[in-house]
Amino acid sequence: MATAVVPRVFKNYINGEWLESASGRAFENRNPADNDELVGMFPSSTAEDVDAAVDAAAEAFKSWRLVPAPKRAEILYRAAETLVRRKEDLAQDMTREMGKPLAETRGDVQEAIDMTYYMAGEGRRLFGQTTPSELRNKFAMTVRQPLGVCAMITPWNFPMAIPSWKIMPALICGNTVVIKPAQDTPLSTYSLAHILTEAGLPRGVVNVVNGSGPEVGASLIHRQGVSAVSFTGSTEVGRLVNEACAPTFKPCHLEMGGKNILIIMDDANLELAVEGAVWAGFGTTGQRCTAASRVAVHHKVYHQFVEKFVARAKSLRVGNGLDAETEMGPCINEAQLQKVMEYVEIGRNEGAHLAAGGHHLTAGAWSRGWFHEPTVFTGCTPQMRIAQEEIFGPVVAVMPVENFDQAVEVANGVVYGLSASIYTRDVNRAFQAMRDLHTGIVYVNAPTIGAEVHLPFGGTKQTGNGHREAGSAAIEFYSEWKTLYLDYSDRLQRAQMES
């Protein structure tokens, strides 16, 4: 007789304890490549759980802010070492809950490793300034101060990398954290909290509250006692987060949508450009904010590029990410799959030519997951919806352009401004593109994905609100300046009034 498998049950992490939600309810975390596999049950939290987490973080902040930054760094170093040792297990878990191939989830964990090491290094580099005073016998300097309790809301596509981008700089600056991971991928954040605790992080410094955006996320960003909010997700939700923070002037970091482009010039290495377009368009099943869902190709090489690109897209192996031969995994859930299918229909109705893919995959093992073919539309125009709107799936719109100037105009002609790329052997064009493309990131002869943790990450226009993640730029968001004046003249001195 078959024995029922008892699902793994996970809890919130509040004030150093693993706790059930006040609601007593839970939600399922299932493998998007195999819906029969239940990864675990996670708590459906409420505002009461958020209150407990914020209170714990506020209390922990009183002592954590006084821990010297190099000592905070030692905890991060230990966490990084554990991440290295457990990389493969963490990647396997991530593939089960998120779906992308193991090669990609190993990269996701590696980003968390890199970010943790990098921010640990910043523990001895939280530099201020010393500067001459305009007055005699007076000393002037600046120091960085932590903000307090930082609320974080993270997406499902990079379940460990993005939480690490937020948590590690916040911690090294002396802040405490309450994080709400995406409901589709809570396990990776759970693991990250476990590892930080094992590394010696004091209770209450990091708190994890699972649940829905409308209930947990909204409660968190509105909660009194939260000093700053960092959100990564859609532009529509980011706008709501921004509006919620505005009445109390709460610092708010937003990392939102993208409609990124590869520009292929007539002197490009076409083989390299095709490989870049495949990786940028279909890596992570197109579910990246930096995915290149637009390709603008010089008319002289348009047909050559399309022929090669379509052939590569059709040859991609789609399947379970745990299979070593899989090149593209599933969509994250049924709603995302439906969105992709809707945009395929939109592209058809707009008159674009469906050159590859376009179908929901349902045969055999595909029937247990949310799989869609790698899809290429050709003959697109810049104003088509499939060339303007973020799809967040394996759909790429290819369009011809007459020259470099038109390519740049097309590239800048969307509401987003995250990442762009140009393939060319002309150094002058490359530098013109780096200057004129209105995006936060520009690549030359490389795809639109591949950010490195020691450099700023973020975009312009409706992609963000000016703040950046990663690198030393992250320190700017998670700390604030304090200017200090020390007068040892033993008399009243009045700035700007002393001769």
Q: What CATH number corresponds to the domain at position 178?
A: 3.40.605.10
Please state, in angstroms and as integers, the Cα–Cα distance from residue 352 to each residue in 340, 376, 392, 455, following that order: 15, 10, 18, 37
- Same-domain status, 215 and 322: no
Residue 188 is predicted with a pLDDT of: 97
Average pLDDT over residues 261-279: 98
- 339-381 confidence digits (pLDDT tens): 999 999 999 999 999 999 999 999 999 999 999 999 999 999 9
Residue 44 lies in a domain: yes
Residues 99 and 207 in one domain: yes
Whether pLDDT at 124 is above 70: yes
- Asked whether 489 and 138 are in contact (CB, 8 A), the reply is yes
Task: Identify the pLDDT of residue 5.
Answer: 60
| Segment 164-192, tens digit of pLDDT | 999 999 999 999 999 999 999 999 999 99
* 198 and 64 together in one domain: yes
What is the mean pLDDT of the segment spanning 299-311?
Answer: 98
Catalytically annotated residues: 255, 289
Residue 346 lies in a domain: yes
- Asked if the model's pLDDT at residue 280 lies above 80, the reply is yes
Side chain identity, residue 461: K
Joined tokens for residue 188: 């990776």
The average pLDDT across 85-97 equals 98
Sheet with 149-153: strands ordered across: 17-19, 12-14, 206-208, 176-180, 149-153, 228-232, 252-255
Determine the average pLDDT of the residues in 424-433.
Answer: 98
Whether residue 222 sits in one domain with residue 314: no
Q: Does residue 302 fall inside a structural domain? A: yes
Q: Which has the closest alpha carbon to 445: 270, 259, 258, 260?
A: 270
Average pLDDT over residues 25-42: 96
pLDDT at position 498 over 90: no
pLDDT at 3 over 70: no
Domain assignment present for residue 102? The answer is yes
Same domain, 233 and 337: no
What's residue 316's pLDDT?
A: 98
Q: Would residue 38 count as lying in a domain?
A: yes
124 and 139 share one domain: yes
Check which CATH number belongs to the domain holding 288 and give it.
Answer: 3.40.309.10
Query: Do the domain assignments include residue 456?
Result: no
Rounded to two decimals, the pTM is 0.95
- Does 315 lie in the same domain as 275? yes
The contacts of residue 118 (CB under 8 Å, 6+ apart) are 168, 453, 454, 471
Whether 268 and 321 share a structural domain:
yes
Q: Are residues 202 and 124 in the same domain?
A: yes
Domain match, 227 and 293 both = no
pLDDT of residue 359: 97
188 and 306 assigned to the same domain: no
Task: Identify whether residues 264 and 195 lie together within a single domain.
Answer: no
Range of the domain at 91: 12-256+464-483
- Model pLDDT, residue 2: 43
Count of structural domains, the chain: 2
Note whether residue 488 is domain-resident: no
pLDDT above 60: residue 1: no
Q: Break the chain down into helix, strand, coil percent, rounded to 5.
A: 40, 25, 35
Mean pLDDT value across the chain:
96
452 in a structural domain: no
